[in-house]
Chains A and B, each alone.
Chain A
Amino acid sequence: MRHDLVIRVAGESGEGIITIGETIARIAAREGLSIVTFRTFPAEIKGGACMIQVRVSDGKISYHGEKIDFLVCLNQDALNENYGDLHELGALLCEAECDLPEEKSPRTVYRVPFERIAVREIGSRISKNIVVLGTLSQLLDIPVKSIEAFLAEKFAKKSKAILDHNIDALQRGIRFAREKLGGTSGFKYPSGKGDRRLLMTGNEAIALGAAGAGLKTFFGYPITPASEIMEWLAVHLPKMGGKVLQTEDEISAICAVAGASWAGAKAMTSTSGPGLSLMSETLGLLSMAEIPAVIVDSQRGGPSTGMPTKTEQSDLLLALYGSHGDSPRAVLAPTSVGDCFQLTGLAFDLAEKYQLPVIMLVDQALSARLETVDPELVKQPPAVTRLSVQPGADGGYVRYRLNESGISPVALPGTAGGEHMVTGMEHDELGNFACDEETHTAMTVKRYRKLQMIGNDPLTRGLSLHFGDEKAEIGIVTWGSTAGPAEDAVRLAASMGIAVQAIVPKILNPLPHEELKRFFARVKHIIVPELNFTGQLASLLRSTYRVPTISLTKIKGVPLEPSEIVDKIIEAQESLSVRSEKRYGRAG
């Protein structure tokens, strides 16, 4: 029997809430447990409500959990805000003075005067979170030794006095639980198998994946929620001989990527929607001039400045088509932190092999999500580099040669005999401006053929996630981080006796046509859950495959919950039993 526990810690930003969650996650990862976290960020720069939710499991999980088993609230606002998400059988640990809503069947509540213990007994308000950690670990039966070891590491660089101070705070929290709260709660932290897992955020996984893929130059402009990618690389990439430069804006960043990549370096930028909008002219240049580039878009609530700290999946169509003219690019969409690592490597491989821009679409929730990753997956892959030639000093090099493969070998600047022009203007094989119809047609076909080749490339085969029952008549197609709640929804529906199958393509351009067509042939209803208003994936599927879809959209700045998807599944199930007349796509 799988053992799962969903813990949420909520309070005021600056109180060390996130540290509590991260400590629990880190310890679990070391014991071989699976972790998926979700955290919200206050819109304010300092202060404001924040929370971190940690789901710990001894099985495989891909979502942070819907109902909370164990809720920790450090103030009244946090309680008011989060109490509704507590499971009927869940328990609450809160600051002693908090008022609780009236309930018919009250849940277990543990009240602790954290503030008083920290301020009066220890004499420092900032150790409050460690007191909470102590109480929480006692109630959940988390081994104290692991926590102490973790704190020792965390404060290794600080003085012994600071460590002692924290251990004291931890012990006071534990003692209070033992003496006043009856020791342990009914909730038990799962016990691990002992195989250590790596724990990282989506942004860290992307940065690490890029470093592993041989990234040499990174250019970027700060923007929430993507900045951590550049910040991580700024610290670590130079250790591997790579270069990181913050530019004056996103246009400069992507243009520097274009220049650096043309000069032969693997190059990348990361941004969010507003930055991708600014980059769109250069995306066309990269397509036209056939220059490899990796662009990460961590989507946030849009349009315009939108909701910078909230999650959304509303840049799909921008990623697919953003730029004037016919400008092919590949689009990848990781579904988990492990994917963030692996697909970043793939993004570089595709960019290099096919000489085109590759966009990776993640979102705020995935960027910030701490998740365990199997160390076996985090291996430096044998990286692909672009097909290049050494023309020799006598020249005769043709940059945009129209050959059978459509991939023209590259002579990197500095190569004797390879002098050539690259250009954003339509050009002949030599790179000279040409605007006759034959050339524009031949070159456009050449550039688009790459997408077809990507679709047939073993590198992109078997990328989609599949779950559920292959015989089910109700199907789900989703993308990116919505895969997690969809997977839980499929399981939940199965437990209610409704068979559902789901497919989650991780490459959205080109779509895995054969796989999707087979899927559509198997199902009667196609539910498409995603985090945007207009149903962008649903409309892409309708226009590409002429299939009816049932769009399920959400724009609340937070991920879809499995129960919301299950509601849609039940509707579909009911209509199946009623055998209603033919239904055509209801765009939500």
Chain B
Amino acid sequence: MEEQDKFCEYLSGVSPVWCPGCGNYGILSSLVEALGEIDLATKDIALISGIGCASRLPYFVKAYGFHGIHGRTLPIAQGVKVANPELTVVAVAGDGDGLAIGGGHLPHLARNNTDLTYLMFNNAIYGMTKGQFSPTTALSSITKTTPFGLFGEPTHPTALAIVYGATFVARGFSVKKEQLKDLIIQGIHHRGFSFIEILTSCSSFNTTDMNVARIIKRLEPVPASHNVEDKVEALRLATDEEKIYHGIFQRVERPTLEDRLQEVEKAAKKNGARQFEALLGQFQ
């Protein structure tokens, strides 16, 4: 009971607007439990999202929330972190938001190693706009805009994050709430860019790709023997045709964007900090 109360502290009181049976409910509960377990002060949490069903999440959590525009979740989150590194920044968006319209940002936050946790809700469909394919929808799927079958190959979010050099890459499943909570905790604790792909079902528009029973059948933890610094093996596991591995694929230490910006400041102040007046000399 006490435990329960603690997690409730992280709920805003706004009722989620998701459809009954939507996988996102599971993610929300894993997230608030993770926040509770880390014992983060709600005032220090910044939840940034884009547009889509997934991106509605910040409304339901007690924190500082920013519901931005479609595809720009990561740039906004990066700005927040650069401005105030004290905040724990969690970015939340769907597969369309993060890999279609906003797909150009992922490699750059991974390169920068911006210290934030990115939860990509992968339901293999555009839920919010009611059922068009997303970059992760299976080949040949019949969706609202592919009545004769989808012809683009699906992308693998986790594999992309590995290749882009994200320093923490994991995959979870909305139904496996304990494991997901654990991944989120580790992601938040990781210093650097943490990417977590979360498989979740859209009960209204895609019950095939993320069909819970079918996923459960293929689901398997990342082998305990996996070396999280072995990129090639991580990639092999992430793209396995039969099994869907969940767990941590990649984890490496690298200076974060904030570390780098601090180094820049130190180098710039090598001869002492400058006030405004000191900048005028060059114009004389």
Contact = CB atoms under 8 A, between A and B. Distances in A.
A380 B276 contact: yes
Given A260-B82, A421-B58, A380 B65 contact: no
Interface in A230-270: 235-236, 238-241, 243, 245, 247-249, 251-253, 255-265, 267
B79 A267 contact: yes
Interface string B55-83: 00011001111111100101111111111
Contact of A30 (B66, B86, B107, B284): B284
17 contacts: A212-B276, A219-B82, A239-B278, A245-B257, A251-B75, A252-B72, A257-B79, A258-B76, A259-B82, A261-B83, A262-B80, A282-B69, A285-B69, A380-B277, A414-B43, A419-B42, A423-B67
B75 A247 contact: yes
Contacts of B278: 239
A199 interface: yes
Contacts of A418: 43, 64
Interface string B248-284: 0000000001000100110111000111111110011
A145 to B, nearest CB: 17
Given A258-B76, A264-B83, A265-B82, 19 more contacts: A212-B276, A235-B268, A238-B267, A239-B278, A240-B276, A240-B279, A243-B264, A243-B265, A252-B108, A253-B75, A259-B48, A259-B66, A259-B77, A259-B82, A260-B79, A261-B79, A262-B66, A419-B42, A424-B51
A240 B275 contact: yes
Contacts of A421: 58-59, 65-67
The size class of the interface chain A forms with chain B is: 35 or more
Contacts, number: 176
Give me the 5 closest cross-chain CB pairs, A-B, nearest first.
Answer: A259-B79, A256-B79, A238-B268, A255-B75, A260-B83
B243 interface: no
B63 A263 contact: no
Contact of A378 (B81, B84, B280): B280
B87 interface: yes
B243 to A, nearest CB: 34
A247 B83 contact: no
B124 to A, nearest CB: 25
Interface residues of B, number: 54
A199 B67 contact: no
B105 interface: yes
B75 A432 contact: no
Given A30-B284, A256-B75, A258-B76, A240 B273 contact: yes
Interface in B78-132: 78-84, 86-87, 104-105, 107-108
A527 interface: no
Contact of A259 (B44, B78, B264, B275): B78
Contact of B265 (A30, A241, A261): A241
Which of A235, A263, A416, A433 has its CB near the most chain B CB atoms (within 10 A)? Answer: A263
B275 to A, nearest CB: 7
A265 B81 CA distance: 11
B14 interface: yes
A428 to B, nearest CB: 11
Contacts of B59: 421, 432-433
A281 B83 contact: no
B46 interface: yes
A424 to B, nearest CB: 5
Given A204-B283, A259-B76, A432-B14, A422 B82 contact: no
